[in-house]
Structure 1
Amino acid sequence: MALDTDVLVVGGGATGAGTARDLALRGCDVALVDRDGLAHGTTGRSHGLLHSGARYAEADETGAEECIAENRIVSDIAGACVRETGGLFVQLADDDPAYFDAKRDACEDIGIPVEFVDGDDAREAIPGLSADVERAMRVPDAVVSPSRLVAANVHAAVEQGATVHSNAPVEGVRVENGEIVGVAVGGAVDETVRPEIVVNATGAWAGELAAMAGATVEMRPTRGLMISVDHAGLETVLNRSREPGDGDIIVPHEREAVLGTTSVTVDDPDEFERADWERERVREECAAMYPAVADAARVREWWGVRPLYEPDEAERGGRGISRGFFLLDHAEEGVENFLSVVGGKLTTYRLMAEAAADAVCDRLGIDEPCRTAETELPGADDPARLDEFVADLGGPGPSDSDVVGE
């Protein structure tokens, strides 16, 4: 038996769930499948930062503009998925002051709200901040619950008629006459899906799905460690104002603080080393900003895998600061009805989904605008309802397991 649908979205992280929601709101017949639990890949293993764009301001103006715009949109539509903490970029004694100045100037040019504070004022606002902090700038960073965000998007898609399946791995793709004509989905589905269009939203695994269709997506997955420690009282995201490095961010939860992160290229996003030096480095570097976390008891730790797009990384070289996204049309490779959306970050998930949905609707001849920026997510004003959505999908990932259900 085969299942027919207008669009098959593969990948149940934020981008895939957002794409399914967007398409369903435009009246498309959509099916979403993921090989594991929804939001259990990169999305559910992030540090949960809703970027203001300040992190990218001096190196990637477009990416920073996208972040501040999407930060505001997600804050408006996602309600209790977001905690408005604010953020602080701190310059320590050994950090290059020119980098701080360039970041502040770039934020002002882009329109990212930024407020300069000296070290004493920063320590007065955040007790326990390092004595080595010479100056800082406030920016509108926030903290987002990935599990709630994905669950709300999935619920919205289902409300509009989409079908969603977790534990449903793609096991094969059949291409005939330059088009995907069948996708074998195992697990909970165990059927062949016959879509008009396939959207590859599998993140770090995008190359694997593309290869099944005879197409190519070059990814450079990199692992990053997050350590959640027992520490209440920190209310603001802390960022190190320096070139990207290990242990340069602390994300506050209500009773914990998440320390991150590292960046190490891996060959396989499923099987990779977890190294002790990462634990030591993250602790040491985060403690340089906020000494209380040096000896705070570890609650849990997890590694996530970033879905970096290899051509963009190669062009920038080294540990690039940009996390732009790319929509790839595989018609150029002879697969007419196959799109991949890659790169990006959790903050820009909705924008990535909009780009993918625009391309799909153009192909299908659907003349309906995107409404996701103005349409509030279900449960946005009710944390308990959001947590019910998360429970329905199998529970939270490690990024926010201390937040969901509280």
Structure 2
Amino acid sequence: MQTLETDVVVIGGGATGVGVLRDLVMRGFKAILVERADLGQGTTGRYHGLLHSGGRYVVSDPHSATECAQENEIIARLHPDAVEDTGGLFVVTPHDDPEFGDRFIKGAQDTGVWAEEISIEEALRREPRLNPGITRAFAVKDKTVDGWAMLWGAIRSAKKYGAEVLTYHRVDKIHVNNGQVEAVQVHGTKTGEDILINCRFAINAAGPWAGEVAAKAGIEEVNVVPGRGIMIAMNHRLVNSVVNRCIYPADGDILVPVHTVCIIGTTDVKVDSADHLEIPRNEVQQMLDAGEALIPGFRNARAVHAWAGARPLIKDTRVAADDTRHMSRGMSIIDHQARDGVSGLLTIAGGKLTTYRLMAKNTVDYMCQQMGENRLCITDTEIMPGTIVGDNYKVTHRLGEREEDRFKSQIICECELMNRHMFEQLLEVQPNATFDDLRRQLRLGMGPCQGGFCSMRAAGITQEMERGDVADVTELMRLFLKNRWIGLWPILFGRQVRQTALDDWIFQGTLDIEHLPVVDDQQIKSKAVR
């Protein structure tokens, strides 16, 4: 068994884990992050794209509201390439209680969340498609963020300080000797190799899977409750700023413009496992109905993809066990030394993507206290490598880039304006990546055709680059299309049915993809998305 040496092992490759990794190495610790799949494949990559101003929680969760308000500007400064400064609105629709606006504005004042009431005329000027029957409107400092771009920016920063990252490495055991964590044993699901990582400390940032990870150390009582929420991407921006209903947080009360689409969300349902998240058709219809309250005619727009994510909520004894909607969004650090007699192990859960840096800071502060170390957090001082302060994301940026290089590299994905050079460059760096791994960084197949044209081009380029034979590359394409289909079947109506039928004719009729060469079972398992 291969052996590695480090100070800290971080378990979980979502925003919280990556934030902890960056914080650790910037304080001078040696750290290795392990993740059972790809970075950002869990909760971080399955949300609606909102960088919270805090407005959503000024009434329901004041502490979280204040944290979001404080971190909103920090994240926008640290991750300019990932954050679009759209601004936001909270509006009272004809279905809502106008008096809730008074509670909202008072809550904003009490929590330090910037908000101001604007006229109905001004709200409609900013967003002409808004329901003309709105009775009140409030401007806030909501922004949108690409969670994957944010994640990879933090990884670049962490690696600059010496961090190591092991994706597709599953934790099999956390070794505890005389009440002290000594090592973390992982299995490479692509390589087949086992690795023992000797360490002084382990930080469990596995989100909704945190309970399963804690059990690897013999700890059974980590009550992280997965709260499933579904979201739907519409095929273009119906709004250019974030639009929220000015009500107590509820299902389908927010519309978020992200890249070239807008996303309606979200439901909140307790589930038993974060590995099996349904996208019920009745909840899809519920989201589309909710969109109509904000944007009349919303249902006439084309839905292009639906997905589900699991919030890692700490069990809240103040509410019913299955009421995830009203569980706190605040972060929680579990000290396993004080609670379970196991030193060298912390679990961090709860929180928001907006507060990922703050969650990491608090966790590493706690770890330093336990270890008797005095190392200050500096993660708010340095922006991500390759970015420029104030040069925030704009929805037109890829169009501008393609105007510059349109004669130098062919377009592979017209929907997302991804060219061949971008694909080849990333495949060189990650030669064993699945197409979904590449999608999370390039947005391959995330436009209206949902991979109908770009996936076969990606497969051809992959084989030309000798990253596999015919069977290998065909399997990559099959897996990619299978994962796209998961988010298509619940929304098959209207124009999306025609698009999906065309894609099906191409792959089942023309290419006969189900009867192309296949790889053996072991190879399929090594390429599967876990």
TM-score, normalised with respect to structure 2? 0.72
Structure 1 window deviating more from structure 2 (369-378 vs 6-15): it is 369-378
Offset at 1:367? 2.4
Distance 1:342 1:257 in 2: 28
Offset at 1:274? 2.2
For residue 48 of structure 1, what is the amino acid of its counterpart? G
1:360-379 equivalence runs, <5 A = 360-379=367-386
State whether structure 2 residue 197 is matched by structure 1 residue 193. Answer: yes
Distance 1:396 1:321 in 2: 32
1:189-338 equivalence runs, <5 A = 190-215=194-219, 216-232=221-237, 234-311=239-316, 314=319, 318=323, 319-320=325-326, 322-331=328-337, 332-338=339-345
Distance 2:103 2:442 in 1: 31
- SS of residue matched to 1:210: helix
Contact 1:26-1:368 within 8 A present in 2 as well: yes
Distance 1:81 1:174 in 2: 38
- SS of residue matched to 2:277: coil
State whether structure 2 residue 357 is matched by structure 1 residue 350. Answer: yes
Relative distance call for 1:316 and 1:174 in structure 2 (3 A) is: closer
Offset at 1:62? 1.7
Offset at 1:190? 2.3
Aligned to 2:475: none
Offset at 1:317? 8.5
Contact 1:390-1:396 within 8 A present in 2 as well: no
Which is bigger in relative contact order (C-alpha 8 A, separation at least 6)?
1
Relative distance call for 1:322 and 1:162 in structure 2 (3 A) is: same
Aligned to 2:103: 102
- SS of residue matched to 1:234: coil
Q: Which runs of 5+ in 1 are unaligned?
A: none
Aligned to 1:164: 165
Distance 2:163 2:227 in 1: 32
TM-score, normalised with respect to structure 1? 0.93
Question: For the aligned residues, what is the CA RMSD?
Answer: 2.4
- SS of residue matched to 1:131: coil
1:99-178 equivalence runs, <5 A = 99-178=100-179
- SS of residue matched to 1:242: coil
Offset at 1:140? 0.1
- SS of residue matched to 1:280: helix
Aligned to 2:524: none
Relative distance call for 1:350 and 1:244 in structure 2 (3 A) is: same
Greater share of strand:
1
Relative distance call for 1:110 and 1:390 in structure 2 (3 A) is: farther
Distance 2:125 2:310 in 1: 36
Query: What percent of counterpart residues are identical?
Result: 37
Distance 2:3 2:42 in 1: 28
Aligned residues: 402
Distance 2:313 2:11 in 1: 18
Aligned to 2:92: 91
For residue 336 of structure 2, what is the amino acid of its counterpart? H
Contact 2:37-2:168 within 8 A present in 1 as well: yes
Offset at 1:2? 2.1
- SS of residue matched to 1:375: coil
- SS of residue matched to 1:284: helix
